[in-house]
Amino acid sequence: PVDRAPEIQEARLKLPILAEEQSIMEAINENPVVVICGETGSGKTTQVPQFLYEAGYTSSTGAIGITEPRRVAAVSMSQRVAKEMNLSRRVVSYQIRYEGNVTDETQIKFMTDGVLLKEIQKDFLLSKYKVVIIDEAHERSMYTDILIGLLSRIVPLREKKGLPLKLIIMSATLRVEDFTENKRLFSAVPPVIQVDARQFPVTIHFNKKTPLDDYSGECFRKVCKIHRMLPSGGILVFLTGQAEVHSLCRRLRKAFPFQKNNTAGDDDKEESVEEIRKFKKSRKRKKAMTLPKIDLDNYSVIPVDEGDEDRDAETDDDVAGSDLDLDLGDADSEEDEKSDSSLPLYVLPLYSLLAPEKQAKVFRPPPPGTRLCVVATNVAETSLTIPGIKYVVDCGKVKKRFYDKITGVSSFRVTWTSQASANQRAGRAGRTEPGHCYRLYSSAVFMDFEQFSAPEITKRPVEDLILQMKALNIEKVINFPFPTPPPAEALAAAEELLIALGALKEPLMTGRPAVSEEETAKLKGKKARLLQMQRIWAGQGLLQKLGDLMVMLGAVGACEYAGCTPKFCEENGLRYKAMLEIRRLRGQLTTAVNSVCSDAGLYIDPKMKPPTEAQATYLRQIVLAGLGDHVARRAQAEELLDDKWKNAYKTALLDEPVFIHPSSILFKQLPEFVVYQEIVETTKLYMKGVSAVEPE
Ligand code: ADP
Ligand code: MG
């Protein structure tokens, strides 16, 4: 029996999904797999776990697991459900990469999809769960798709064991045929339950003209107009990344200042323009005498994971060289930014990496006499429903990571979103009363949008996916029941690359006739080149030896030595969260090594010392072995005839010149040969994480 507070109970009863509780529970009781479709805000994420709990689906023998493609949703939804059910967070918990509050008592567990995938690696049958809910399946994140494929096999296996597992797939759209009509996935078509959306009409207003690039400025002008001229009701603005969100928040706060005479939400003050200016100044001064600013997120050894596009997008802000969220830009020069304090606007940012306390603010009513204005990335599209929104301002854009399948180059690009996602955004305006959506582009442009965005799995490089699947003993990745299979040639190319890097084991080489003799010879050539390069490096200084990697290692070492405090990080231009992640990753790797080599006896030294000459050599070898296909050579004389090759490098994979990124310590040095961690495309193709390979 759940003991809910009366006001919570009242709010629940208004959710459309409550009317479907009985039909949902009947379908779940009678079928191993059930699909639930319902508009964003209908109550799927917060209510379905409660239905299951009340129907006795948790007990000493199993828990309810819910996966989310975004961290922000996993954390905030677990907190919300705990609150609604009046249960401790020891019982309703979350787990995201490296962080969580799961206990032995946990019965409802929210997690990112990557976390559940790791759990399957440890326990293929997921025996600790009685129900697994895959949320936001319409987003088609790579891990979500893989999880659904795996679960389609786990469910019958659990059935055979007499310990049935229920699988619930939840989607904010009705487009679920890739799951329901894919016979390789589920031979019996799972029932689809449609939750009636109590959606009010939303009037769509298209711009006559589409702004060429300044969509952010266009958003600003539109919000100003709405706020000055239209009746009360919250405004939700969709932008593409964290830096844009902050910059628009600042402009709006300046235009419509809101003087707080109560204490509610006072911590916002830190974001006042004055404070930021001061902070920026002091940081500039300090910068000169401290470590160089290093964006450790860009050096992650972990593949971009957990489908958290905000995390990616944030990285991009740095790539483009902008001063992240501190750039005041040309905001001050705007004509219509005369501040008007008679019309207070309560402006809140919302994006994935925002601290949970700040995220939670969007759910609370704005201070009396003010209008709420949330400036968000597409976190607000389906993951979180903000109450009281009557006006949506949609820039129509989304920031996405693009991969070039042939060269493996990734870049962030702001592109038009899909029609489906634009319609989701518009829908946010009609939750509580009829609303309006202002699209800052013409209807002709909208007609050119793709209808739906393609599943991530068909676009991303699949190496890490294949490795994970091999770790699950899935040999024939080609035969895996993907909801939408990645292109066969991408799978084949990925296997070859992994073999080249020595990531897959011998049996695969021999067991795989696709590897021709020619290919084997190529691999041998690569290995020989690696060995030769390893010989070349001996006897250089550490910095020479490891290049940018040594800078990074130095930063981690210095930070650890100083006790890894937020203060140290701020003073030295390090990202505290990233440092914590690095430490946790070190812990994980240390444990992993110790468990394989019981006599290694590794431990985490809090006063990390720089590597010895010999250790640096090993490190370098590891780096090169891992980056065997990321070697670049200075442009040769004949290429230099063309100006575009000045200071450029040639890589094996690209015809275009690539350059050492200005943030690299090797930027001026221009060694003959280098290896790089990644190439990003901004104004040019840039190599990041560069180490030199000196020829003899
Ligand atoms: P769905 O998953 O179908 O999109 P949710 O279960 O997320 O719907 O949301 C149901 C309702 O609960 C929405 O009206 C939303 O505003 C509200 N809600 C969700 N999280 C919170 C929260 N932390 N505080 C207050 N209300 C919330
Ligand atoms: Mg939801």
CA of 179 to the centre of ligand 2 (A): 18
Residue 405 pLDDT exceeds 70: no
Cα of 386 from ligand 2 centre, angstroms? 12
Q: Are the CB atoms for 457 and 486 separated by under 8 Å?
A: yes
> pLDDT tens-digit profile of 279-295?
455 444 433 333 333 33
419 burial via Cβ count (<10 Å: 0-12, 13-18, 19+): middle
pLDDT given at position 535: 35
pLDDT of residue 131: 97
User: In this predicted complex, what is the ipTM?
Assistant: 0.99
Ligand 1 within 6 A of 427 CB?
no
Query: For residue 47, which ligand has an atom nearest its CA?
Result: 1
Q: How far is the CA of 136 from the centre of ligand 2 (A)?
A: 6
Asked if residues 692 and 665 have their Cβ atoms less than 8 Å apart, the reply is no
Ligand number nearest to the C-alpha of 43: 1
In this prediction, residue 90 carries a pLDDT of 94
CA of 13 to the centre of ligand 1 (A): 13
So what's the pLDDT on residue 181?
A: 92
pLDDT of 303 above 90: no
Please identify, by atom number, the ligand 1 atom nearest to the C-alpha of residue 76: 23
| Residue 44 Cβ contacting ligand 1 at under 6 Å | yes
Residue to mutate (ligand 1; options 35, 80, 379; most atoms within 8 A of CB) = 80
Please work out whether the CB of residue 439 comes within 6 Å of at least one atom of ligand 1: no
* Burial class of residue 658 in the structure, from the number of CB atoms within 10 Å of its CB (0-12 exposed, 13-18 middle, 19+ buried): buried
pLDDT digits over 315-356, tens only?
Answer: 333 333 232 222 233 333 444 556 777 889 999 999 887 877
DSSP 568: H
Between 212 and 300, the more confident residue is 212
Mean pLDDT in residue range 527-556: 54
pLDDT at 312 over 70: no
Dist. CA 222–CA 393, nearest whole Å: 7
Burial class (CB in 10 A: 0-12, 13-18, 19+), 245: buried
- pLDDT score for 378: 86
Decide: 679 and 667 in contact? Cβ < 8 Å.
Answer: no
Atom of ligand 1 nearest to the CA of 80: 23
Tell me: pLDDT of 636 over 90. no
pLDDT band at 518 (very low <50, low <70, confident <90, very high): low
Tens digits of residue pLDDT in 573-620: 667 777 787 787 788 778 878 877 777 777 777 666 777 778 878 888
Does residue 218 have a pLDDT over 50? Answer: yes
- The response to whether residue 46 sits with its C-beta less than 6 Å from ligand 1 reads yes
Ligand nearest to the CA of 385: 1
Q: What pairs with residue 687 in β-bridges?
A: 660, 679
pLDDT per residue as tens digits for the range 252-283: 999 999 876 543 444 444 444 444 455 455 44
